[in-house]
Every structure is written in C-alpha cells, then in structure tokens.
C-alpha cells in the first residue's frame, strides 16, 4: 500500500475497485481519537484521487463499530471552555467545524461509502454512519445518540443528517432521551438498509454490495451520488436542473454502448476508471 495511505488509526486494503477502510482501534471500541479526525479526511482525499477506487467499505475491527468520540479528546474542549469567553468560543467553533468537515469528507467523496456496522455505534459513531451512503448492520448492533448523557447536543452531523434519513419525530425522541435502539428498529425507520446475522456476514454483505456497485459505470455512479446529495439540500426544480446539466455534460456514448451491448449479450460490461483529479 502506498505511503500516502499510512495511518495510525485506520487499516486499508484495495482490491478489485473496492477500498476497505477499517477503524483499527478495536481495543478501545474504535473510539475516535485525535488521529481519527486527522486521518479520515486525509485518507478520503487520497481515495478520491485514486482512479482504481470505485467504492469504499467502512468498518471497525474488534467487537464494535465505534463507541464515539474518545473522551480523552474532551480535555482539549474543556480547556477551551475555561479560556477567555470570546476567544475560547471562537476556538471551540473552529474545532467543531473541523470535526464536521472530517465526516463530510465521506459525503464529498466521489465514490459511494458503505458502512458495515456491528456491536455499538454510539455518539460520534452515529455521526460517522450518517455521512455514509449506505448502512448495513449486524443483528446485535446497538445505536445511540448519547451526547445528551454528557449534557450536550450532538454537533458533528447526526442532528442535521439523520432527520433526512428517518422520521424527524423518532430522531427527536432518540436525541432527547439518549436511549439505545436496535438494528431492527434502525431498519424499520430506514436508517440501515439491511440486517445480517453476525458481524462477519454483515461485512461480507457490504463487500458483495460494493463489488456489485464497482462493476457499474463509475461515471454514472459519481453522477448519481452527486445528484442525490444535491437533491437532499435543494428544491425539486433546482435538482432537476442539476441532473440535466450533469447528464448534458457527462453522458457519453462509450459507457452507454458498453452497457447496452453487455446487456444484450447477457455479459458484464467493463468500464474505464474515472480520471484522477487534474493537477494544478
């Protein structure tokens, strides 16, 4: 693996267009240490530059997906709250925005991200899952918006993204109470796509789905991700304009003909990779 993918928090493998990004702090329930917040956006940026990567699968090693933000990181936050009020507030604002940007790097990635969730997915873990395109869960997985338990409102993306993924009234109940909910509840509310028997079968299902997506036209997949994300934040009229402009600029006969011919021949089409980002 190239040095640019080195990380103290994550392990990474890439095979057949699928990048498997694993949180590698299983002995600490993959709690989000300072290294997480630095390495995630850096690795997402590098994966976005790699034309061989078509899908990312995100999972956690050990017994849990993630127990959320490492409480040790709160020492810095507490230090800011005791500083001169105006300057401390400004510094805390910048810190929160960096946390938010780290998770948004998954949403900004031009390829889909599939989360394979097992064990606990709490606090910041829910924020992380919300930033992914697709979520699969094992039957024993438990989720919780637990920031209320330490006297704060979740501020890294759950309260902003989750109401667009499941009913707002349910989100309010869970955020107000901090109660944990099951993978079956999460599926019933639309937060996870499917539930599997074990962590192993969950990851296997995520990798199978990733390979299926990786076999499609990467240009079309990139267009779909952009369109769905854009539509979430804009009006129908604006979103129709966006996809019309995208297809007018990006729709080309090569992928269309490959797909049509393969379908007629009952074969799988082979699509060219995306280009790496242009260098300035």
* Residues designated as active site: 69, 124, 127, 147, 155
| Distant-in-sequence, close-in-space partners of 267: CB < 8 Å, separation ≥ 6 | none
Contact 179, 155 (CB under 8 A): no
CA-to-CA distance for 190 and 222, rounded, in angstroms?
A: 23
Name the 3-class secondary structure at 118: coil
**Phi and psi (nearest 5°) for 50?**
-85, 110
Kindly give the pairing relationship between strand 113-117 and strand 18-23.
unpaired
- Sheet containing 181-182: order of strands: 120-122, 142-144, 181-182
Q: Is 115 left (phi over 0), alpha (psi -120 to 50) or beta?
A: beta
Question: What is the Cα gyration radius of the chain?
Answer: 20
Contact between residue 252 and residue 274 where contact means Cβ atoms under 8 Å apart: no
């Amino acid at each position: 693996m190239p040095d640019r993918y080195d990380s103290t928090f994550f392990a990474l493998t890439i095979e057949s267009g699928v990048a498997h990004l694993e949180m590698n702090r299983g002995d600490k329930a993959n709690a989000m240490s300072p290294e997480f917040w630095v390495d995630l956006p850096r690795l997402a940026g590098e994966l976005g530059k790699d034309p061989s990567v078509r899908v990312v699968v995100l999972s956690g090693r050990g017994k849990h997906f993630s127990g959320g933000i490492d409480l040790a990181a709160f020492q810095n936050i507490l230090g800011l709250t005791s500083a001169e009020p105006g300057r401390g507030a400004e510094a805390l604002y910048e810190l929160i925005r960096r946390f938010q940007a780290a998770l948004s790097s998954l949403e900004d990635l031009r390829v889909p991200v599939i989360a394979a969730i097992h064990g606990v997915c709490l606090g910041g873990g829910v924020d992380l899952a919300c930033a992914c395109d697709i979520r699969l869960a094992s039957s024993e997985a438990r989720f919780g918006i637990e920031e209320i338990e330490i006297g704060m409102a979740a501020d890294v993306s759950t309260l902003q993204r989750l109401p667009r993924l499941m009913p707002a009234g349910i989100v309010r109940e869970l955020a107000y109470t901090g109660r944990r909910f099951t993978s079956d509840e999460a599926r019933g509310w639309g937060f996870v796509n499917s539930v599997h028997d074990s962590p192993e079968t969950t990851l296997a299902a995520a990798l199978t789905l990733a390979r299926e997506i990786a076999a499609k036209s990467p240009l079309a997949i990139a267009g779909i991700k952009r369109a769905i994300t854009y539509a979430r934040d804009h009006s129908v009229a604006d979103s129709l304009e966006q996809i019309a402009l995208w297809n007018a600029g990006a729709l080309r006969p090569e992928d269309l003909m490959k797909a049509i011919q393969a379908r007629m021949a009952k074969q799988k089409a082979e699509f060219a990779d995306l280009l790496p980002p242009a260098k300035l």
